[in-house]
Structure 1
Amino acid sequence: MSQNSHSRPDDRDETAIDAIAEGADDNAGEPNRRAYTGWQWWLFGILAIAYSSFHLISLNVYPLETWSFRIIHICGALILGYGLYAGTRFAEEGKPRSPRWMAALGYALLLPALYALVQVVLMQQAMSQGAMRIEPNIEAFHFGYPLMLTTAAAILLSWSDRQYQHRLSPADLVLMVCALASAGYLLVMFNSPLRAATGTTFAPMGISYAAIAGAALILELTRRVAGLALVIIAALFLTYVFAGPWLPGFLGYPGLSVGRFFSQVYTDAGVLGPTTAVSSTYIILFIIFAAFLQASKVGDYFINFAFAAAGRARGGPAKVSIFASGLMGMINGTSAGNVVSTGSLTIPLMKKVGYPARSAGAIEAAASTGGQIMPPIMGAGAFIMAEITGIPYTEIAIAALIPAILYFASVYFMVDFEAARKGMRGMRKDEIPRFSRLVKQAYLFAPIIILIVALFMGYSVIRAGTLATASAAVVSWVSPNKMGIRAILKALQLAGTMSIQIIAVCACAGLIVGVIALTGVGARFSSLLLGLAGVSQLLALFFAMCISILLGMGMPTTAAYAVAASVVAPGLIDIGIQPLVAHFFVFYFAVVSAITPPVALASYAAAGISGDNAMGTSVASFKIGLAAFIVPFMFFYSPAMLMEGSWLQILRVGVTATLGIVLLSATVQAWFFGPVKAWQRLVMLIGALCMIYGGIYTDVIGLIIGIGLFAMQRGRNGSRPATSH
């Protein structure tokens, strides 16, 4: 935003608020993120650019063999991740680091790691010269044992080796080499006839050694970038593989040997399966797209546009939060990450117009979480669902339309009724950007429009995403923020670093999916749901909801859905629910686990910005997102909500369910067109549930209740003068 410092005072008053968001979608610095200078900054910048460029070239120009592509995809994220994220807190500048012997031990560990890497090169040469397989003792003593022991020792050392923020820890350098050695061996073996032996007694043990080291590297990077929740769940599943034979009841199973399990878990049955398939194609592509939007300042424009459009309404910043956070959350794919980026702007403004800190944080958390269910991108969830179910992406995006409208209508009316109840004002004209100026830059929406149009014209997701990314650069040339070569390289570098968390999380979820597939534990949950359905289908759905939320706690959306879809969705399909309905049911609850106490990542992130109690904020965001806990049950009772049925049915269900959501919001906030008494709230709740349910008779009952309460409220409050805010 450049303004002439010599402009007249009246001009300055008109133009000073042309933009309220500046860098609103920039990434916040994580506490364990390294900040390099000098040649190290250049090195990791070049690596990140090369990583993003590799994906663009492989996806559009020069495709690689599938398993090889995914192995390189994970290996690149591990190398960047260990270079950029430390395993422990940094030493404060000027204060002592860890003892010198720790650094010396780290450099000493580099020798066996490099030895294992050299052995991979020698093995590749032997295989290329016609060797059928590598001798077991060479795999074990010259590759496997050095690799596994070095990986374990370097991970343990990295937990206590405190370095300065601008330096790379020797232990992390060792882990980067181990990632190369593990991936290199797998590339050699999976591009030979031995690939067919995975999961059998004929599989080379080297595959298991490489997979064990690779799994440990994935778990440790996940801990660094996403916390312990997913790591603990993955560790429990991995423990189950070997503890299963001793477990009682339906959890027991015959068991798998270490060699047999690990020779399969790093294939498309696990780590290289659906989660990595999506992260290596759709997710990385949309992260690059988001980075280009960021570099061209389109993300800032979205937020400024939202302020101009809704800022003056009562409780204006909260309504802006719903629009901006939903839009940005749809693209960036992480609820908590979106809270941190857009919430740093919207939460203080909400507090400024009268929202308590708790409400401000809860609204931002609920809106950012809603972005994950907003078509067409749905935070990459739609692409994972298409990959798992085989249902066309466009069908999934269309089916998501009414549920997304209901969710955002719920959050909007919750906000509006609270603003009315507390007599809040909107923002003043001089506090928001000028709509007349912003509307002239509406062409900045072109990348999103191009993406949607291309998808519905039948272009592949990869081609549509690439076109949208290119259009973001082109559109910038008619805006004040032109993207030259430098800005494009900056966007590619940003995308490379932004992708680390989600790729680590998807690979870790792949471990869990592998355990489910190879042990059959998913089928055991299916039989449990079948048993419950014999008693009551509603009870089976409630149990499926609890499992989906439990599995999703503390996990980003993509991983939460991938795991829940493997465990819960097959059971729902077995009890007679359509695959699309079953997967949407699971997806919704995996998403709202981000605002469900006691582990609500999005709410915790919002509480950190608002300054309120984390648990209180999570309870408040749970209330605001209440519709998302009711609507999925209606998918089962009224499939028209997912566009299944005639247009007349779909229209009726959509309209009445929206009216039901309004009543539900009024029930929670105790305000309709004025204060609502306790008995009226109870009647209103019944009317809301009747209309959300979707049956013809229940819709009529709900409408009668709604009209009656509306008439009662207007009659009581019609003679009162309206308060102006």
Structure 2
Amino acid sequence: MRDLSGPLKWVCWAWAAAAAAVHLYFGAVGFPEPIQMRGFHLLVFVPILFLLYPARPGKSPARRPSVLDWAWAVAAAAPHAWVMWNWMAVADRMEYVDPFTPMMMVLGITCIVTLLEATRRAVEPGLAWMVAGSLAYMQWGYLVPGIFNARPFTPQEIVEAAWLVPTAGGVYGPLTGIVATTIAVFILFGSFMQGSGTGRLFSNLGAAAAGRYTGGPAKVAVITSGLFGTMSGSSVSNVITTGAMTIPLMTRIGYKPAVAGGIESAASVGGALMPPVMGAAAFVMAEITNIPYGDIVIAAAIGAVLYYFAILAAVHFEAKKQGMTGMPLKDIPAWREVLADVHLVLPIAVLVWMMMERWSGNYAAFCATVAMVVVAMLKKRTRMSLRDIVESLAQAGLTMAPLAVSIAGAGIVVSALTATGMVVAFGGIIKGLADGNLGLLLVLLALTVLVLGLGIPTTPSYIIAAAIGVPQVLELGRSIGVDPLAAHLFVFYFAVIADATPPVAAAAFAAAAIAKASPTITSVHATRFGIAGFTVGFAFIYDPGIMFRGSAFDIILATSNQVVALTLITASYAGFLLAPVGWPVRLLMAATGLVAAFAHVLDDTTRFLIAACVLGGIAGFQWAAARTARLNQGGTG
């Protein structure tokens, strides 16, 4: 992002703050007609990206937009302004039946081109190429032989499908609608959490709770990143916010830079899995599945806890093996310092309660945001001034802008996949390769999501993969009663952890820059520490107890099975349980943990008993050996 100076800096910040404030207002009183709201959302957030982000970093002006940037901004505004002005005509027109006029064609092409350029600058070039590729496939897909052959589309049909078919996808489709309404207000809530000092509360809580224990800074990083994930909309921003503090602390007590970066990136990526907010993709999931967001939060809760349990376990074993200590006492805040900010938890409680009571997400987030401002006023140290409030609004607006173009681009991809039948074709290929085997289908789908995550953010990756793979999972999983929400959570988990897996891992690369380590090695360690993302993803399908499905026994058994499996796997990686273990025992632990996590041909009870016996046996042997050694030392003394 450019470091603007002078009046333009304040104009852009005021614009972002005003745009965010309007979204907050609509969250309270209700939104305009869908096409109006979606047009307004893109009108206020797309043009500003050309002023904030240079076309070519290092070559374009770094502190001011060029004349060409201003031209891009004006061009980007024109299509959305036209849609807002003519919203009734757009809402009433019959798609692909009413004439698509030359003016519409020009505006549609302008919209698509400016959206691609804004995505390239502010989000990911890979996503821009994917959007362009989907449009190219609509144009020339009829030339492709075999299963990927598509019917011919006229240029007018392509532009209309991508731009002006709000019921099925495209720029003004339902995906843009959910971002412009619910997600926008939740981003505002997260921004006000940061502005009020809730971030300080989370940092102090993590340090006070875990800082004094073995490998304290790493455990602080895990806890703090998980808490920050409730208000951060980006794993990369989570890394930058918490990693600037935790990565140097970890390296100072003995963690290798790449390991420290891997711990931070795995923990930061998991923020999108952590209720009650869970990131933008979870709101899109609620829109796609028509499942209340509160139900999604409940179903995902145990999985999120397991994810962070596995990271903490891996960190603990690693620290014990290396003989690391905790944080210096002078760096650990007193509990009275934590309790001084504890009142800031009340707005989060308001949000959770309203979501559980089935209030609309946007209204719940609005009330929680107002509650945050009011509650922050209770103490001088957290009180938000007018400047702080405007700053929070501006930060929310600057976060919304890149998300707006990435979701609009994903809408174009979904529209193209649907219109050409690519969803059916690609789903058919995966289904054919799986040959009726649900487990193989899930592996192929997981690999597909991880590959998508190489070049595009979590939310578009989830949207595209869900369109391709979820129907196939539900069809093959009908015999074992796969829950539709489980299929979506499966895709969601792999879309999230793609940010930390090599060869391209945005969160790990950001952590590597702070740690001054190899990005590739850092992403390998991030994958190791985030192993629970893989096991929990499959558990949603095969062990629905972790979604609070079934009896209390089913829930406890499914959760316990994951705990034991993850303990074995992470201890095997580290080569340490209660004491160091050699390679034969490490291999036994790894094999048993993988059986407990993935051998679904066995029933849950059998897998748990096998894993618990191996874990208990090794731990018991090590404990007895250590006790004997202590007794011998005592006798010798």
**Residue deviations 1:469-492, cap 9 Å, x none?**
111111221231311322212211
Show the counterpart of 2:561. Answer: 656
Contact 2:42 2:404 in 1 (8 A): yes
Q: What is the deviation of 1:195?
A: 4.3
Show the counterpart of 1:70. Answer: 38
Q: What is the deviation of 1:456?
A: 1.0
Q: Is structure 2 residue 520 aligned with structure 1 residue 615? A: yes
| Aligned counterpart in structure 1 of residue 121 of structure 2, from 224, 227, 230 | 224
Q: Which amino acid aligns with 2:236?
A: A
Show the counterpart of 1:52. Answer: 20
Matches of 1:692 and 1:542, distance apart in 2: 14
Contact 2:243 2:511 in 1 (8 A): yes
Q: Secondary structure at the match of 2:576?
A: coil
**Residue deviations 1:58-101, cap 9 Å, x none?**
2322521101111110121112212222212356xxxxxxxxxx
Contact 2:503 2:520 in 1 (8 A): yes
Q: Decide which moves more: 710-719 or 423-432.
A: 710-719
Q: Secondary structure at the match of 1:197?
A: coil
Q: Where does structure 1 differ by over 6 angstroms across 4 or more consecutive aligned residues?
A: none
Q: What is the deviation of 1:440?
A: 3.7
Show the counterpart of 1:597. Answer: 502
Contact 1:513 1:563 in 2 (8 A): yes
Show the counterpart of 1:575. Answer: 476
Q: What is the deviation of 1:687?
A: 2.6
Taking only aligned residues, the RMSD between alpha carbons, in angstroms, comes to: 2.0
Q: What is the deviation of 1:721?
A: 5.6
Q: Secondary structure at the match of 1:583?
A: helix
Q: Is structure 2 residue 3 aligned with structure 1 residue 34? A: yes
| Aligned counterpart in structure 1 of residue 225 of structure 2, from 319, 325, 346 | 325
| Aligned counterpart in structure 2 of residue 705 of structure 1, from 610, 614, 617 | 614
Q: Is structure 2 residue 50 aligned with structure 1 residue 82? A: yes
Q: Secondary structure at the match of 2:324?
A: coil
Matches of 1:310 and 1:581, distance apart in 2: 33
Q: What is the deviation of 1:45?
A: 2.4
Show the counterpart of 1:437. Answer: 337
Q: Which amino acid aligns with 2:625?
A: R
Show the counterpart of 1:696. Answer: 605
Matches of 1:242 and 1:462, distance apart in 2: 38
**Match runs of 1:102-251 below 5 Å:** 162-163=60-61, 165-192=62-89, 195-200=92-97, 202-251=99-148
| Aligned counterpart in structure 2 of residue 277 of structure 1, from 172, 177, 181 | 177
Q: Which amino acid aligns with 1:700?
A: L
Q: Is structure 2 residue 417 aligned with structure 1 residue 522? A: no
Matches of 2:514 and 2:628, distance apart in 1: 42
Q: Which amino acid aligns with 1:78?
A: V
Q: Which amino acid aligns with 1:506?
A: I
Q: Decide which moves more: 340-349 or 261-270.
A: 261-270
Show the counterpart of 1:532. Answer: 433
Matches of 2:390 and 2:237, distance apart in 1: 23
Show the counterpart of 2:585. Answer: 680
Show the counterpart of 2:302. Answer: 402
Show the counterpart of 1:259. Answer: 156
Q: Which amino acid aligns with 1:277?
A: G
Q: Provide structure 2 residue ranges, at least 5 long, that are not aligned to the other structure.
A: 632-637
Contact 2:115 2:409 in 1 (8 A): yes
Contact 2:462 2:492 in 1 (8 A): yes
Contact 2:2 2:63 in 1 (8 A): no
Contact 1:533 1:575 in 2 (8 A): no
Question: CA 1:300/1:259 → structure 2, altered by over 3 Å: closer, same or farther?
Answer: same
Q: Secondary structure at the match of 1:300?
A: helix
**Match runs of 1:410-429 below 5 Å:** 410-429=310-329
Matches of 1:47 and 1:300, distance apart in 2: 28
Matches of 1:223 and 1:721, distance apart in 2: 63
Matches of 2:625 and 2:279, distance apart in 1: 45
Matches of 1:554 and 1:318, distance apart in 2: 29
Q: Which amino acid aligns with 2:303?
A: P
**How many residues were matched structurally?**
620
Show the counterpart of 1:344. Answer: 244
Q: Which amino acid aligns with 2:234?
A: T
**Residue deviations 1:368-406, cap 9 Å, x none?**
011111122111222111101111211111110121121
Matches of 1:181 and 1:381, distance apart in 2: 29
Q: What is the deviation of 1:227?
A: 2.9
**Match runs of 1:91-106 below 5 Å:** none
- What TM-score results when the alignment is normalised by the length of structure 1? 0.82
Matches of 1:250 and 1:700, distance apart in 2: 46
Q: Is structure 2 residue 454 aligned with structure 1 residue 553? A: yes
Q: Which amino acid aligns with 2:35?
A: W
Q: Which amino acid aligns with 2:415?
A: G
Q: What is the deviation of 1:530?
A: 2.9
Q: Decide which moves more: 687-696 or 551-560.
A: 687-696
Q: What is the deviation of 1:315?
A: 0.8
Question: CA 1:719/1:503 → structure 2, altered by over 3 Å: closer, same or farther?
Answer: farther
Matches of 2:496 and 2:31, distance apart in 1: 32
Show the counterpart of 2:634. Answer: none
Question: CA 1:62/1:437 → structure 2, altered by over 3 Å: closer, same or farther?
Answer: closer
Contact 1:406 1:658 in 2 (8 A): yes
Contact 2:307 2:530 in 1 (8 A): yes
Q: Which amino acid aligns with 1:554?
A: G
Matches of 1:561 and 1:43, distance apart in 2: 35
Q: Which amino acid aligns with 1:553?
A: L
**Residue deviations 1:41-72, cap 9 Å, x none?**
33222211221112112232252110111111
Contact 1:687 1:705 in 2 (8 A): yes
Question: CA 1:658/1:244 → structure 2, altered by over 3 Å: closer, same or farther?
Answer: same
Contact 1:526 1:574 in 2 (8 A): no
Show the counterpart of 1:469. Answer: 369
**Residue deviations 1:235-270, cap 9 Å, x none?**
222221112111122111113211012112223222
Q: Provide structure 1 residue ranges, at least 5 long, that are not aligned to the other structure.
A: 1-31, 92-161
Matches of 1:370 and 1:182, distance apart in 2: 37
Q: Is structure 2 residue 448 aligned with structure 1 residue 543? A: no
Q: Which amino acid aligns with 2:23?
A: H
Q: Which amino acid aligns with 2:286?
A: A
Q: What is the deviation of 1:355?
A: 0.9
| Aligned counterpart in structure 2 of residue 492 of structure 1, from 372, 393, 413 | 393
Contact 1:245 1:254 in 2 (8 A): yes
**Residue deviations 1:277-312, cap 9 Å, x none?**
222122221221122122212212211221111111
Matches of 2:229 and 2:48, distance apart in 1: 24
Matches of 2:569 and 2:431, distance apart in 1: 32
Show the counterpart of 2:635. Answer: none
Q: Is structure 2 residue 220 aligned with structure 1 residue 311? A: no
Q: Is structure 2 residue 491 aligned with structure 1 residue 586? A: yes
Q: What is the deviation of 1:184?
A: 2.3
* CA radius of gyration, larger in: 1
Question: CA 1:415/1:274 → structure 2, altered by over 3 Å: closer, same or farther?
Answer: farther
**Residue deviations 1:214-243, cap 9 Å, x none?**
111111111111231211222222221112
